Amino acid sequence: MAADTQATAVLALWNDVDPIHDADYNDWHANEHVPERLTVPGMLWGLRFLATAGVVGPRYLTLYGLRDAQVLDSAPYQHLLAWPTPMSARMRRVMHGISRAVYDVVATQGSLAASGLLLSEDQDLGQPTLNPTPTEGESDAVPGLLRGQRRPDTQPLPWLQTGQSGFQPPESLRLVALAQAPMGAKAPVLPGVSRYRRLPVSGDGQF
């Protein structure tokens, strides 16, 4: 997976499942769903994360790097939405807290494919917030950073049912990759900053 491949847009998805479904969800998402999405031309990379601290809402975050936002209108991607695999159809019924947004990449540096991730609303693009920066107990090495502005034309997933939708995604994003996974409760919690650790995807070398 070339997570440092240049993307001009990022698809961000937040979601959760009840703990009883965690094992099935993670097996499906890592071994089938994300690899399947990466067969779509123009979908350059996919990264999975699990919240460790500072998150109110869904635990799971998935990021896809896109050649451009029009990739999501392409026939290959639309085919996957319309014709889910049996396991995808099952998981669609048990996921909740689902939010989806497409962001135009405003600035990028390095790769987000690191052990940890910090996420906050970008103070330069949106309302003033505290910058997500490594704190004591986390690595000082920052492999990558990405800033994005949400597109107003993001379409909801066509299969969403009543009660499955989540929060309104932020207008702007600041993502900071960390060489080491955030330490959760052991690390200081910064206002407006969500911490995640990276989860494996089949074929990305983490298994």
| 45 domain-assigned | yes
Whether residue 205 is contained in a domain is answered as: no
193 inside domain: yes
Residue 207 within any structural domain of the chain: no
β partners of residue 60: 15, 50
Q: Is residue 63 part of a domain?
A: yes
Q: Tell me whether residue 13 is in a domain.
A: yes
Which CATH number do you get for residue 153? 3.30.70.100
Q: Which residue range(s) make up the domain with 121?
A: 9-199
pLDDT at residue 9 in the model: 98
pLDDT above 90: percentage of residues in the chain: 71
Residue 100 lies inside a defined structural domain of this protein: yes
pLDDT, tens only, 142-196: 689 999 999 998 888 999 999 999 999 999 999 999 987 665 545 555 678 999 9
Helix (H, G, I), strand (E, B) or coil at 23: helix
- What is the secondary structure of 60-76 as a DSSP string? EEEEEEESSGGGGGSHH
Q: Which of 202, 161, 199, 154 is nearest to 22 (CA)?
A: 199
Indicate the pLDDT class of residue 1, thresholds 50, 70 and 90: very low
Mean pLDDT score across all residues of the chain: 87
Q: What is the pLDDT of residues 43-70, one digit of tens each?
A: 999 999 999 988 878 999 999 999 999 9
> Whole-model pTM?
0.89
Position 2 in a domain: no
| Structural domains in the chain (count) | 1
Please write the tens of the pLDDT for every residue from 72-81: 999 999 999 9
